[in-house]
Amino acid sequence: MRVYKAYGIGGELVKATDMTRISNKLTLFDSNLTFGDSKIPETKPASIKTLRYNASFPCFDPNCILEFKKEDQLLKHLSVGKHVVDDEKQDSIIDTSKRLWSAKCQDIRFNQPLLSSVGFEESQDQTKTNIKEQHGYALKKRKKAVRFSPKVKDYLAVLFNAGELSGKKTSPYTVSNQMRNEIDSQGNRLFSPSEWLSHQQIRSFFGNLCIKKQKVEKSKNPSVEVVKIENDQEDDEDLQNVLSHLIANEHNNVLSEIVTGLTN
């Protein structure tokens, strides 16, 4: 222990052995001093606020909210039997808000008029009678046949004949994109959006022209002719064969374009 005469003055170090030697030589000069028996302070339960954070021994009574730090305090509380019941006065703001919300919900629940079972069944019967679906409503509906305008037919026929003459057939994908960008001599669009065709429609049209050309070649000597557009019914099997042939040629043309692009 270091002893100072005043703040910042001195600072003599007293060893522990010297302290024990000095304490043994101390004498009591005042004989009037008396020492009574030590009294154990009564153990009182802590407040509700501190019990919520520092307690570890709760009361066994489910209605009592007291908790104690030591086991002997809990045993003494149980022997006395003075339990503290949780009521609204001891609730926190959160507990009070929960109680008010629960009471409000119960009022809404009990004050709400109940529907009679008879009226509920009648309403169900009415909904069943009102909702009537036709048979086959989930089946895929057939698309209506769209007639191409003469301008579109002439445009596609020119492209088809040019491909037959040159030997390099035009891809339906290319024609579909080209139709959206075609303009006339005045700079206006050649086709309106309603006249634009998909590549499937163009492929089917080219297939019809190819079948007509084959029929003409069978009836006459083989020669290069301009195909006339007619609204006749063609055989389905021939159309499928021609379509598969066109698809194969289209894939071959795409592959050849990719190869040439990579090599160049």
Q: What is the reported pLDDT for 91?
A: 63
- Do 259 and 164 belong to one domain? yes
* Residue 211 placed within a domain: yes
- Tell me the CB-side half-sphere exposure of residue 9, using CA atoms within 13 A: 3
* Residue 33 placed within a domain: no
Within 10 Å of residue 171's Cβ, how many Cβ atoms?
Answer: 21
Given a contact cutoff of 8 angstroms between Cβ atoms, the answer to whether 49 and 68 are in contact is no
* Residue 246 placed within a domain: yes
Low-confidence ranges of the chain (pLDDT < 50): 51, 55, 88, 118, 222-234
- Do 100 and 155 belong to one domain? no
- Do 251 and 162 belong to one domain? yes
- Do 97 and 166 belong to one domain? no
* Residue 256 placed within a domain: yes
Q: Which of 54, 71, 106 is the last residue of a domain?
A: 106
- Do 166 and 256 belong to one domain? yes
Q: What is the reported pLDDT for 231?
A: 46
The closest of 73, 55, 75 to 65, measured between CA atoms, is: 55
* Residue 248 placed within a domain: yes
Q: What is the reported pLDDT for 109?
A: 61
Q: What is the reported pLDDT for 84?
A: 79
Task: Look at the block and give the residue holding tokens 């003409």.
Answer: 216
* Residue 118 placed within a domain: no
Query: What pTM value is reported for the model?
Result: 0.33
- Do 178 and 242 belong to one domain? yes
Q: Which domain holds residue 57?
A: 45-106
Cα torsion angle, 45, 48, 53, 58, sign: positive
**How far apart are the C-alpha atoms of 98 and 111, rounded to whole Å?**
20
- Do 259 and 156 belong to one domain? yes
**How far apart are the C-alpha atoms of 63 and 77, rounded to whole Å?**
14
The closest of 158, 163, 153 to 250, measured between CA atoms, is: 163
- Do 97 and 164 belong to one domain? no
* Residue 217 placed within a domain: yes
Burial class (CB in 10 A: 0-12, 13-18, 19+), 242: buried
- Do 155 and 257 belong to one domain? yes
**How many domains would you assign to the chain?**
2
Q: What is the reported pLDDT for 13?
A: 78
* Residue 40 placed within a domain: no
Q: How many residues does the chain have?
A: 264
Task: Look at the block and give the residue holding tokens 């703001």.
Answer: 93
35: helix, coil or strand? coil
Provide the pairing of β-strand 57-58 with 67-68.
antiparallel
